[in-house]
Structure formats: structure tokens, C-alpha cells
Structure 1
Amino acid sequence: MNLRKILLFSLGPLGNAVLGLFILPISAWFFTTEDIGRLSMYQLVVSFSIILFGMGLDQGYVREYHDSPGRQKDTLFKTLFLSAVALLLFIVLASFLLPVDLSFLITGIKSEWISLYIVLGVMLAFSSRFFALILRMNERALAYSLSQLLPKLVFLLVLLVYLYFEVASKFEYLILAQLVGVSSAFVILIINTRESLIQAAKASFDLTLLKRVLVYTIPLIGSGLTFWGLAATDKFFLRLLSTFEELGIYSMAYSFSGAALVLQAIFSTVWAPQVYKWAAKGEGEEKVKNLVQILALLICLVWSLTGLLSWLSLLILPDKYAKVDVLILAVIAYPLLYTLSEATGVGIGVKRKTIYALLATFMALVVNILGNYLLIPTFQSGGAAISSAIAFFIFFIFKTEYSNRIWISFERVRMYFVITLHIFLASIFNIYAGISLEFRLLSYLGLTLFTIILFWKEVKLSFSFVVDFYRTSK
């Protein structure tokens, strides 16, 4: 994959980060913190549905794509997509027979319209996930990035329409704006993948292929659900042990970690397919080692930069979000450590030992449940942030160590040490709210310099890597 394609793949995440700079203050000023919290719960339900009802087959498609020559790729997509959609439709139909008010269960509001919006949102996001993979695996970088960018762009436009026409700030309108954004992406994906979808429709359904892929993905279902629980535990405990207001403040802090999500989205899009391609050819071990160390340096520097700049969030948010700037220091651990674990733990996917990913996630989930239960009653959203940071560090360590045992071994002590310092600082600043901003800035400035000195070899290596990569991609 050349530099141009990587830049085009980066367009979607970068664009989303820029759009977020406009969406966050508009939604914060226009809607209540409770409604922001409710939207967070809706988004958790969507992500849960994709993981559970997708049966890990989306990841199976990525893993088997390069091993499926020619028209077998069409068979692969049809078999996996139809299997996942069939399960989703069955669950959706069954849900209408249950005596449960879906809207009230998720948002605390009784509304048939909200229930309908939730179901439609799940179905559209679910299908879009699979269609987008066609673009990703065919390296149609621009089309893929636009499909990721469109939902947030349309969401922003709808919010601006609300402001212009002075629409009432009700949650129904907030979730509707989300649904319009997802619907627009779904339509564009249908258009951009129509030829591949037509070919897939003509292909045969391969039950033997499905069984083989499920052997790989079944552990991923448990791992995916456990990881979803790991990422969602803090929000659910805030919902149970605190208020929608605290959940809304916490969710706003998570939204500001979008800068780190850019890095995660770009890296996840490019890394796994490339490493699987190297592994299929029996090469790339030295490249993996070098890239892991460079990424560790980058992750630590991004974390330090967040510590230096998080106070800027206070300039665009209402006073009710005053805690967001310190919450960001901890909640950013999720996207940063997850991104780094994708690199350090890639051997689990290469060797198809997905059970190790499940074990790493399960241990981190247990830590997160215990941490949230103990810390939220005392520290509210700050306690949830601290617990989440520690849990994702546990997840990162175990995933890294498992991968090192079964595939490539590389040096880890430095990255463990610097990340420990980051979590310590984030915890201190969330527990002791009275610490001055000046002291916080000095702490992160010192940590930045320390990181550069500790990873000086990687600093030089990264410069030479960029130069070489640029020359070979011309």
C-alpha cells in the first residue's frame, strides 16, 4: 500500500475529527447533558448488535480475503453477509414479540418512535459495516473514507438545520439526526459497491466455507462481546450508580478523545490487512518490530500532547462540562492502548489463536467491573475514567505478552513504564480536582521530554522510515 492510499484512508478519520470540533460544542449547547448520555447508550446498543449478530464474520471476511482467489471472494462475502443478516433479522423480529419497551430500557424515555429509530439504526449500521469492508479490502481508499465521513457530516448538517429553524432540543430529534447520517452512508455504500454486490448475489452460498470461517470467528464473538463489555462497563455503571448527567459529561469527554480515534481508525484500517499479507508471504517480521516501537513512541507522545492541550475543551463547552478536561486524560487510554495492542498483539490473528484475545479481554473486563463498582460511588465520572484506563492497560499487557509468546518477540519494558506514568498522572488529576493547571502542564511537558529521550532511537528510526517510505511510494 503506497503513501497516497494511506493518506486517502486517513481522510475519513481526519475529517471526522475536524467535524467533531463543530459537532461537540453545538450538541453540548443545544441538548442537555442527559440527552448526550442517552445518545451514548444508543450508540452502545448499535455497537453491541454489530458484534453479537455479526458473529465475528466481518473480521472473518478480512482474514480470509487474501486467501480467496478470484470469484471465491464473491462467495466469501455472500456466505458471511447473508449468515449475519439472517441472524440479525431473526432477533429483530423476535424483539417485537417481547413485552419490553426498548426505548425506555435504553434511554429512560417511553416512545415508540425512539424504539423504531433504534431498530433502524442497528440494521443500517450493521449492513454498512459489511459493505464498507468491500471498499476497504479492494483498497478503494477514497470511497471507503467518504463512507466513514458521511454519517458525521450529515449529522452536523441536520444539527445546523435544527439551529436555523429553532427546533426543540428533544432527544427524539438528536437520535433522528444520527439515523439520517447513518442512512445517507448506507445509500452511498450501496451505490459504490453495487458491482461487487451484484457479483456476490450471483455467487453460490458455501456452507463448508461458513463452517471453516466460524471456527476462526466463534472465539471472536466471545472476545468481541467481552471487549464491548470492557468498553461499555463504565457507561453502564454510571447509568446504574450515578445519573444521566454524569454519563453525559463522561460521554462528552469520550467524544473529545476523537483525536486518538483518528489514529486508531487509520492504523486499524491499514495494519491488519498488511500484516496478514506479509505473513502469507512469510516475511515482514523485522518491519513489524520496527513499526511497533515507532507506534509506541507515537502513542505516548499523543497522550502527552493531550495532557498539554485538554484544557482547550473548556473554551468551547458550557460550564456544566467543567470536568471534561481532566476526564480526557484518562478516557483517552481506550483508543490509544487499543491501537497499540492492535500492533503488539497482531500475532494472535496471524497464528489464529483468537482464544488469547478473549482471555486478555476477559481479565481486563473483570478489573473494569470491580474498579467501576468501587470508584464511581466516590469519584463519579472520574472514577469511571480511572477504572477504564487501568483496565485497558491490563488488556494491552496481556494481549502483548500472549502475542510475544506465539509469534514475534520484541522489547516492551520502556512502553510499559511510560504508559504506567501516564495512567498515574491521569488518576491523580481526576482524584484531586484542586491541582492547578500550571502543575498539570509542567508534569506533561516533563513526561514528553522524558519519552523523547527514552525512545531516542525510535525518534531517529521514524524519520528514516518516513523518508524511505516516501521514496519507495513514488
Structure 2
Amino acid sequence: MKTRTVIGFAVGPVATALISLVAVPAVAWAFSPEDVARYNLLQIFVSFGVLFATLGLDQGYVRHFHEAPDRAVLLRSCVIPSALLFIAVALPSMIVSEPLANLFFGTADARVFPVALACCAAAIVSRFLSLILRMEERALAFSASQLIPKAVFLVAIGLLVLLAVDRDFLSLSYALLSSWVAVAVITGWSTRAHWQRALRVRTDRGLVRVLIRYSAPLIFAGLAYWALTATSAMALRYLSSLSELGVYSVALTFAGAAVVVQTIFSVVWAPVVYRWVAERSDLARVDTVTQQVLAVVTVVLVLVGSFSWVTDILLPPAYSDVKYLVVGSILQPLLYTLSEATGIGINITRRTVWSVWCTLGALAVSGALNVALVPHLGAKGAVIATTIAYFVFFVGRTEASVRTWRPSPRGRLYAVTALSVAGALMTVVWGPETGRWYAVGWAAMMPLIVYVFRDQWGALRRLRSPGMVAS
């Protein structure tokens, strides 16, 4: 993959993270913590709707894209089953909109549930159309499909504030709907030649069966990972309070900035390793890159711990605990990124069932800890449970890769990550008792981190060499 293409794919996550740094405080100031919590539940609902309705066929489209004799038939054969399933579930559920709105979002406003379904529909359309851009390596257009929802959502929030309309969950839902509709329209225009051809061809039922056989295992893996990410929010919804969920949601959204690291690394890493394997290169380089990722992950965590107090300036007083929670929350995407490096052997050996088992193990840990901690600690308990679960997920994927592919040194890897988790959880639990001294403690760690990873910093400067990113 060329450097220019990598940069193009990175534009979306980076710009999205920057917009989120503006959007999160805007929503926090404009809406109550309870409505912020409901907004988080709506996002979880939409992500589940996309996962459920696509049946894993989005991954089937990616897998068969380059091999398909007719890509229009492939697109239609992926979209039609998803559309039929969504319609079959959505239309009957409209009859009981009010009970479902109360069940999922904690509101008696029956208008909310149809809006949520409309968000799902637009998100499903956007998902398939953005994959066309991804597979054609139209990097900037794909990045735009990630950037547009956040930008439109921020504009919508600004209009809600300026026009002095009711600032409630329904208006927040409409803002989210506008963002998804915008990206569906724009990606639809960018890919119009593809879906217009797909409208004129016939669905290949044989291909549908092939796609579903391929995608069925991926559905379970996707559902397991969705459950891992959603368990804490669900526990707060039903075992604690919406205000605690609101605080947790804001902390998690700020921590989502680390997804930039995850996304960029995921785009580059797998193709590079697959090429190394195909060329029978020295795979010791995998261990070298893993240590470099560990260095970056640790530095990001230390920086967040040192400066998380800035959230007090950006957010209303109701979110004063966010500065402590975000230190634990950001470890979740960082540990996932690290597991992408250490667990690559699972994909190379095609033993992907191990990923499912690792996810299920982490999910079991998350569920048990959330049930035990959330009723007593609220948002703190949710962060503790999820962070420990992601550490279990990381260790599981690492060990599975070692056993299915090749051994690798793990002493420093586990020592640094365990200490990072311990420090983050200590901040979550005891941070409020230390004032700003918790941040001083994290800042004091930076010279040590620079020294421990001194060999990795020089190597990182060589990542832009043609051997790493050029195809």
C-alpha cells in the first residue's frame, strides 16, 4: 500500500477525532447527562442494527470483491438479503414503538423508536456503499464517509443551540439521523455507477448461499465483540442510573480519540505482515514492530493521564469524574491495537475461531465484573470491568497467536501492559482523593518511558521507508 494511500485512509480517523473533541463538550453543555446517556444507547442500538441486518455479508463483499466476475451482482446479492431482513424486523416493531423506546432508551416518547430505525437504515446503506470506496482504494472518499457523519452531527447540534429548540433526546436523535442520511446521500452519489448497475442485474441465489456460508461465523464473532463493547453501557442502564451512564459515555467518547491509532495501524499492519509471510522474510521484524506499538501505546496513556484534567475546562461540572475515567477508558482501544499486533498469527494461520473464544472469554469477564461492580461504583465500576476485560482479550489473542503460529518474547510486553492497567485503574478509583497529583504522577513516568523504549524511538522513524508501506 502506497504512503499516499495510507495517509488518505488516515485523514478520516484523524479529522473525526478532532471534530469529536468539539462535539463532545458541545453535547455535554447543551444536553442533560441523562440525554447524553440515551444518545450512547442509541449509538449502541444502531451499531447492533447494522451488525444484525448485514448478516456479515459486508465482510463477504470485501472477501469476494476482487474475485467476483460481476461486482454489480455481488453488491446486489449482499444488499438484498440484508434489506429484506431489516424490513421484516423493523416494520412489525413499529407497532410497539412506545414500549420499545422505553426498553432501549428509557423514554416514553414513541417517536424516538422510528427515528432509531431510520438511523439503522441509513447506517446500513452507508456501510455497504463505503465498502465500495474502501475496496477501490479511494482513500480520501472513504475518509470522507467517516468524517461527514461527525461534521453534520456537530452542525446539527449547533443549529439546535442557535435556534433555541427543545434540547431533549428526540432532537438529539434527529441530529444523529441527519448525520447518517447525509453520509448515505454523499456516498450514494460517489458510488452511483455501482448501485445503479446493481439495480439492473438479478440476484444470484447461489452466490447468496456462498456468501452466507462464508459470513455466518463472522456474525457470531461480530456479535460477541459488540457485546463486549456494549456490556458496560447496558449494565449502567439497568443496574445503575442514566446520569452515571452519561458520565461514562462522555469519558468513552473522549477516549475514542485513540481509535485513530487503532485505525491507522490496522490499515497498514495486516497487509505488511501477509507480504512478509509470502516473501518468507525474517519474521523477527514482527516482534520489533510489536515493541514499537507497545512504546506508542504506553506514551499515549501517559500523555492522557498527564493532561486529562483539561476535561474540567471543556465540560460542565456534572462531568468532573471524566478526567479520572478517561485514563482507564483510553486503554481499551489501545489494548485492542496492541492485540492486533500480537495476535496477527491467528489470521495468518486462519485459526480465526481463536479470536471468537478470546472475545467470549473477555465478554464473560466483563459481564461478571459489571454485575459485581456497577451497582456499587457506577461509572467507575464500568470502566474497571471493561478495562480488565480488554486486558484479558489482549492476553488471550497474544497467547493464541503464539500457540498457533510462532513463539515471541512476552516478558516486557506483559509487564508494561499490566503496570499500565494497574496505574489506570488506580487513577479511576483513587484519583478523586489526590486532586491533581494523579496527573503529576503520570507526568513523572514520561522520562522512564522514554528511557525504557529508547531503542524503539529510532526504529519508529524508519517506518516511513518503502519496505513498510509501499506495495
Partner secondary structure for residue 111 of structure 2: helix
Name the counterpart of 1:296. 294
Alignment deviations for residues 13-69 of structure 1 (CA, whole Å, 9 cap, x no partner): 111111112211211111000000000011111111122222222223333434x16
Question: Take 2:274 and 2:214, find their aligned partners in 1: how far apart are those partners?
Answer: 14
Match of 2:100 in 1: 102
Q: Which amino acid in the other structure matches residue 458 of structure 2?
A: K
**Deviation string for 1:236-292 (max 9, x for gaps)?**
111111110000011010111132022223333444456556667776955544433
Equivalent residue number for residue 214 of structure 1: 212
Aligned mates of 2:207, 2:451 — CA distance in 1: 50
Shift of 1:229: 1.1
Write the mapping of 1:131-150 to structure 2, written as runs, cut at 5 A: 131-150=129-148
* Structure 1 residues not aligned, in runs of 5+: none
- C-alpha contact 1:219 1:358 (8 A) present in aligned 2: no
Aligned to 1:162: 160
Q: How does 1:328-339 map to 2 (within 5 A)?
A: 328-339=326-337
CA deviations on 1:280-334 (whole Å, 9 max, x unpaired) are 7776955544433322221121111111111111111111100000000111122
- The aligned counterpart of 2:350 is 352
| Structure 2 counterpart SS, 1:167 | coil
Which one is further off, 82-91 or 367-376? 82-91
Deviates more, 1:35-44 or 1:281-290: 281-290
Conserved 8 A contact 1:121-1:182: yes
**Structure 2 residue 19 is matched with structure 1 residue 19:** yes
SS of corresponding position for 1:301: helix
- CA shift, 1:434, in A, is 3.9
Most deviating of 442-451 and 16-25: 442-451
**Which stretch has the larger CA shift, 346-355 or 167-176?**
346-355
Q: Give the secondary-structure state (helix, strand or coil) at the position aligned to 1:432.
A: helix
What is residue 75 of structure 2 aligned with on the other side? 77
Letter in 2 for 1:152: K
- Cα deviations by residue, 1:107-163 (Å, 9 ceiling, x for unpaired): 221223211100000111112111111111111011011111111111111111112
Distance 2:210 2:276 in 1: 22
* 1:116 lines up with 2:114 in the alignment: yes
Matched, 1:397 2:398: no
Tell me how far 1:174 sits from its aligned partner. Answer: 0.8
Q: State the 1:4 CA deviation.
A: 1.5
Q: Give me the whole-angstrom Cα distance separating, in 2, the residues matched to 1:353 and 1:460.
A: 34
TM-score normalised to structure 1 length? 0.92
Verify the 8 A CA contact 1:216 1:354 in the aligned structure 2.
no
Paired position in structure 2 for 1:188: 186
Mapped to 1, the partners of 2:78 and 2:348 lie a distance apart of: 20
Worse-matched range after superposition: 85-94 or 6-15: 85-94
Equivalent residue letter for 1:158? A
Cα distance between partner residues in 2 of 1:456 and 1:265: 25
Return the alpha-carbon distance in structure 1 between the equivalents of residues 469 and 321 of structure 2: 46
Q: In the alignment, is the contact (CA less than 8 A) between 1:63 and 1:273 conserved in 2? A: no
Pairing of 1:437-448 with structure 2 (within 5 A): 437-448=435-446
Tell me the TM-score normalized by structure 2: 0.92
Q: What is the aligned partner in structure 2 of residue 55 from structure 1?
A: 55
- Larger CA deviation: 2-11 vs 389-398: 2-11
- The Cα of 1:224 is off from its aligned counterpart by 1.2
Code of the aligned partner of 1:159: I
1:28: which partner in 2?
A: 28
Confirm whether residue 235 of structure 1 aligns to residue 223 of structure 2: no
Q: Decide whether aligned partners of structure 1 residues 472 and 427 sit closer, same or farther in structure 2, where only a CA change above 3 A counts.
A: closer
Separation (CA, whole Å) in 1 of partners of 2:80 and 2:274: 25
Structure 2 residue 408 is the aligned partner of structure 1 residue 410: yes
**Matched length:** 471
State the SS of the aligned residue for 1:464: coil
**Cα deviations across residues 372-427 of structure 1 (Å, max 9, x unaligned)?**
11111222111110111000110111112212322344333322211111111121
- Separation in structure 2 between the aligned mates of residue 270 and residue 134 of structure 1, nearest angstrom: 19
Structure 2 unmatched runs, 5+: none
- 1:164-214 superposed Cα distances (whole Å, 9 cap, x missing partner): 121221111111011101100000010111122234445554444444443
On the 8 A contact 2:354/2:400 being kept in 1, the answer is: yes
Query: What secondary structure sits across from 1:96 in the alignment?
Result: helix
Name the structure 1 match of 2:321: 323
Contact 1:131 1:193 in 2 (8 A): yes
Q: State the partner residue of 2:450.
A: 452
RMSD: 2.5
Is 1:39 aligned to 2:35, yes or no?
Answer: no
Which stretch has the larger CA shift, 308-317 or 256-265?
Answer: 256-265
Cα offset, 1:98, TM superposition: 5.6
Tell whether 2:250 aligns with 1:252: yes
Aligned partner of 1:46: which letter? V
Q: Could you tell me whether the CA contact under 8 Å between 1:35 and 1:171 is conserved in 2?
A: yes
Conservation of the 8 A alpha-carbon contact between 2:98 and 2:113 = no
The amino acid of 1:296's aligned partner reads: L
Query: Distance between the aligned counterparts of 1:463 and 1:303, measured in 2?
Result: 20
Once the two structures are aligned, what percentage of the paired residues are identical?
34
Q: How far is 1:470 from its partner? A: 9.5
1:65 is aligned to: 65
The aligned counterpart of 1:363 is: 361
